[in-house]
Structure 1
Amino acid sequence: MPGRRLTARERQVISDGLAAGDSYATVARRLGRPTSTVSREVGRAGGTAAYLAASRSPGSLTPPARRGPVGAATERDGLVADAIRTLSALFHDSGLPRTASAVLASLIIAEAPVSAAQLSCRLGVTHGTVSRAVGYLEKLSVLHRESVGRQDRYSLESRVWSRVLELDAQRNTRWLAAARYCLGIAEIGPVGRERLTAMTDFFQRLGADMNAAAANADDPVRDDLAVLLAALVRHRAPLPDSRLLASLAWPARRLEAVLAWLEENPDALFPLTVRVTGAGLVADAHAEALPGR
């Protein structure tokens, strides 16, 4: 079998496998071929996207239904590749390694979890290079791995941006600690000490702001509270739970979570508040904000 030219049917099997997200090794086992045969076949076409586009051309063995023209698919692939390059350059300029930046950008754009083989084809790098980048991103806790059969697939962690914020806060803490350490060195002169003091003050303020932002980044109740207040202000009258839930298109437990959080944090909306009356919920001025109270 090795060395024999691929048939049209085998090329269609490769195309179908790539479209399903299978790895080169999985497709090769299906064909009874070496993995290198599949990778060379796809590589000669210019990668997975180009191979899939070519297999869907009018002269292909089994052109699939409900597909746009090859030119449109190629244009979409080019625009997606441009988005990945843009994001990758941003992440690399911010300090991430080049391939890790490209993998992170690819996961942001991806419509579904992707395999290492898909990332390898998309980025034009080896499987080992992708694996090292994936390992790096896993250590940062910004990437999620799931096993599907014998294959791992990767996606973006749901709280990736708050995690990035936490990492920035940790870095600023290290800068602050270094500035404070250097201030303790008596041999540093007055000009250097003045700069170190300014550095300490700056990173102390920045660290406090970023830590507060990181603590609140994953709290969806705060966003729901703002939506609830806006709904009550708009209606300008007490709203029964049933009407409020219909207006917001919320399940009852979501409203209960917001009200429970507000009960624990009564000053969160100061100088406003949300009160429960016999007629329903109403937005009102906080008691302590009224003149003469």
Structure 2
Amino acid sequence: MPGGRLTHEDRRIIAEGLSEGVSYTEIAGRLDRPISTVTREVARNGGPDGYRADAAQQATRRRARRRGPAAPPDPSPSTAVTAAAHGRDPAAVQQLEEQFTTMMVDTGLPRMTARVLTCLYVTDDGSLTAAELAQRLRVSPASVSKAVGELERQELIRRERDPRRRRDRYVIDAEAWFRGWMASARQNTMLADFTRQAARILGATTPAGTRLQDIGDFFEHVGRAMIQAADEWQQAYTRKSESAAPLVTDQARGIRG
């Protein structure tokens, strides 16, 4: 997290960037860190040709033991707000956010996009403005804008207009993954149509045409299965919501009574 110590995952990102030959500026952008943090990390752990994530992590631990125990880093504004809401343990919340972000990165999301998605998920309201996201994550508004654009494109969040503040709010709800899943299903259908068309152009009996026809059949099968699974989930979710509604109403009547 910006401002805190580099994690093992951060060091892996640095090592990957060095192996790809990208600049320190780009690596720092991937981490949302100052360039000086990256250059100092690489310089003290073997330089650009000798940097290894595991070795750098171990060296950092050895240096920390020699210096003695250090105070834990201050939680980010996001962690502090989330933890304070219901008396949660700030350290546990911070660890949860880091693990959630890493998991989202492993699914293919860019790190900044994953951090924004995590922030919305662990926020009790499930709704924040771009300015609130930037403040909680300690990043620039431009970084947030790019991240929410990607999340909107994948239909993992939705945008609402806040008439009181005349600002857009980014919202995540129980059906966020349903929408994202359906977007993926539509993409599979488009791929199926395209590859089958390509097979006809190349010739259905040619090796290339046969290969693309098989790919089209695969994506059509997967797309149908995804849509069926999503429909079954939505029906189950609707039944669950309807059965819970009378209970909430009865509880409200009891409170008023």
Instruction: Return the TM-score normalized by structure 2.
Output: 0.51
The equivalences for 1:5-20 within 5 A come to none
SS at match of 1:185: helix
Instruction: Quote the offset at 1:250 in angstroms.
Output: 8.5
- Aligned positions, number: 171
For 2:237 and 2:79, locate their aligned partners in 1 and report how far apart those are by CA, in whole Å. 45
For 2:116 and 2:194, locate their aligned partners in 1 and report how far apart those are by CA, in whole Å. 32
The 8 Å contact of residues 48 and 118 in structure 1, kept in 2 or not, is answered as no
Question: Which residue in 2 is equivalent to 1:127?
Answer: 141
Question: Which residue in 2 is equivalent to 1:81?
Answer: 94
SS at match of 1:96: coil
Equivalent AA in structure 2 for residue 126 of structure 1: S
Q: 1:150 to 1:250 in 2, by over 3 A?
A: closer
The answer to whether the aligner puts 1:99 opposite 2:77 as a matched pair is: no
For 1:116 and 1:221, locate their aligned partners in 2 and report how far apart those are by CA, in whole Å. 30
Q: Deviations over 1:242-266 (max 9, x none)?
A: xxxxxx95879xxxxxxxxxxxxxx
Structure with larger RCO (C-alpha < 8 A, sep 6+): 2
For 1:135 and 1:161, locate their aligned partners in 2 and report how far apart those are by CA, in whole Å. 16
The 8 Å contact of residues 180 and 200 in structure 1, kept in 2 or not, is answered as yes
Q: Which ranges in structure 1 are unaligned for 5 or more consecutive residues? A: 1-44, 53-63, 228-247, 253-293
For 1:130 and 1:221, locate their aligned partners in 2 and report how far apart those are by CA, in whole Å. 31
For 2:113 and 2:210, locate their aligned partners in 1 and report how far apart those are by CA, in whole Å. 38
SS at match of 1:184: helix
The equivalences for 1:267-286 within 5 A come to none
Equivalent AA in structure 2 for residue 102 of structure 1: R
For 1:50 and 1:215, locate their aligned partners in 2 and report how far apart those are by CA, in whole Å. 35
SS at match of 1:149: coil
Q: 1:149 to 1:204 in 2, by over 3 A?
A: closer
Instruction: Return the TM-score normalized by structure 1.
Output: 0.46
For 2:104 and 2:119, locate their aligned partners in 1 and report how far apart those are by CA, in whole Å. 12
Q: 1:184 aligns with which of 197, 200, 208?
A: 200
The equivalences for 1:1-293 within 5 A come to 47-48=76-77, 76-112=89-125, 113-141=127-155, 142-147=157-162, 148-149=164-165, 152-186=168-202, 190-220=206-236, 223=239, 249=247
Q: Which ranges in structure 2 are unaligned for 5 or more consecutive residues? A: 1-73, 251-257
Instruction: Quote the offset at 1:216 in angstroms.
Output: 3.9
Instruction: Quote the offset at 1:120 in angstroms.
Output: 1.8
For 1:120 and 1:250, locate their aligned partners in 2 and report how far apart those are by CA, in whole Å. 35
Equivalent AA in structure 1 for residue 77 of structure 2: T
Equivalent AA in structure 1 for residue 158 of structure 2: L
Identical amino acids, percent of aligned pairs: 25
Q: Deviations over 1:159-184 (max 9, x none)?
A: 20110111110121122123202211
Q: 1:138 to 1:224 in 2, by over 3 A?
A: closer
For 1:118 and 1:87, locate their aligned partners in 2 and report how far apart those are by CA, in whole Å. 20
For 2:189 and 2:237, locate their aligned partners in 1 and report how far apart those are by CA, in whole Å. 28
Q: 1:176 to 1:136 in 2, by over 3 A?
A: same
**Deviates most, 95-104 or 200-209:** 95-104
Q: Deviations over 1:86-106 (max 9, x none)?
A: 333333343433322211111
